[in-house]
Amino acid sequence: MVLIAAFTIQMHAQENSHPPSEAPLVLTGAIPLPNVKGRIDHFGLDATHNRLFVSALGNDTEEIIGISAQTVIHSISGVPTPQGVVYSQETNKVFVGSDEGKLYVYNGTTFDLIGSIDFGG
């Protein structure tokens, strides 16, 4: 019942709204992840260095993609089911959470492991 009401409200709102001023998102390309097996999820962006961080849950890796080059530039292994990723420009560190309750901290240039914090999972 809640879904139907929400759907009806959404449809009514769309009928009375102005058309969007910009076109919807359009697929412009694909970047292969040849060494990734299983599911991917959780993305992080480093806009300064034009990198995208992709959590490969089934692979236990964090994939770093060079957006301009449209290729994988590095792969961080050993993160059990990565559950979130963020890049800090201020500290030049990559923070990756795992489903085991650990937060892994990596150097944002070399991707060397700096340390981890166990929050208990």
Q: Are 64 and 74 in contact (CB under 8 A)?
A: yes
CA–centroid distance for 82 within its chain: 10
Mean pLDDT of 46-62: 95
pLDDT of residue 17: 60
pLDDT of residue 11: 44
Asked, for residue 69, whether it belongs to a domain, the answer is yes
Beta-carbon neighbour count of residue 85 at 10 Å? Answer: 24
Asked, for residue 116, whether it belongs to a domain, the answer is yes
Asked, for residue 13, whether it belongs to a domain, the answer is no
Asked, for residue 70, whether it belongs to a domain, the answer is yes
Asked, for residue 64, whether it belongs to a domain, the answer is yes
Residue 80 pLDDT > 80: yes
Number of domains composing the chain: 1
- Would you call 116 exposed, middle or buried from its count of C-beta atoms within 10 A (0-12, 13-18, 19+)? middle
In whole angstroms, what is the distance from residue 111 CA to residue 39 CA? 22
Mean pLDDT of 71-79: 95
Residues in the chain: 121
pLDDT in tens, 40-53: 989 999 999 999 99
Residue 32 pLDDT > 70: yes
CA–centroid distance for 85 within its chain: 6
pTM of the model: 0.77
Range of the structural domain that residue 92 is part of:
36-121
Asked, for residue 17, whether it belongs to a domain, the answer is no
Domain containing 82 — which CATH number?
2.40.128.630
Tell me the pLDDT of the chain averaged across its residues: 85
Q: Which helix (H) or strand (E) holds 15?
A: helix 2-16
